Amino acid sequence: MYNYFLPDEYVKNVFHIQPEKLMERGVKGIITDLDNTLVEWDRPDATAEIIEWLKSMKDVGIQVMIVSNNNINRVKAFCEPHGIPFICDARKPLRKSFKKALITMAIEKEQAVFIGDQMMTDILGGNRAGLHTILVVPVASSDGFFTKFNRMMERRIMANLKRKGMLKWEE
């Protein structure tokens, strides 16, 4: 059961995910969470660094799609100015939105990675969908109401994983 909460990779932030390394592994698409993964949950726009990171992926032919549990107003306002396809109200960790993202990008799950900052929604959902999952440190130190609850549960899961010797990174 705990394996579903373990990411395949753990990095400090999305900037540690390089297009060249993804291409070497045959990755053609990135499915990513938005809030606290790419930008702070309360930041409406992409930063210059995120825009450059997205461009670096596009330049080598790697598609990027956002799958967020947030509402259409939030996700659309972030994605539309940059032409990023998205799925909002995704209901992660359910698999449906992940499958829809793969269909939209016309790629197989083996050709995709999923990036997120939460074990309870992002990593659990990505793993259940059979994707290669990458956990990042949350961009913001503050969270919305539901995310605070998830973080509390994640700390418990991480403590259990650490006790069982399954945790391969430092907190």
Mean pLDDT of 1-17: 90
**Where are the domains positioned within the chain?**
2-163
What does the CA dihedral 128, 131, 137, 139 come to, rounded to 10 degrees?
A: -100
pLDDT at 25: 96
Q: What is the pLDDT of residues 95-125, one digit of tens each?
A: 999 999 999 999 999 999 999 999 989 999 9
Q: What is the pLDDT of residue 169?
A: 60
Q: For 123-139, how does the pLDDT look when each residue is reduced to its tens digit (9 = 90+)?
A: 999 999 999 999 999 98
From the number of C-beta atoms within 10 Å of its C-beta (0-12, 13-18, 19+), residue 78 rates as: buried
Alpha carbons 60 and 28: distance in angstroms, whole number:
9
Percent of the chain with pLDDT over 90: 75
Place of tokens 């997205």: 54
pLDDT for 20 beyond 60: yes
CATH class for domain 2-163?
A: alpha beta
In percent, the amount of the chain with pLDDT more than 70 equals: 89
91 C-beta neighbours (distance < 10 Å), count? 13
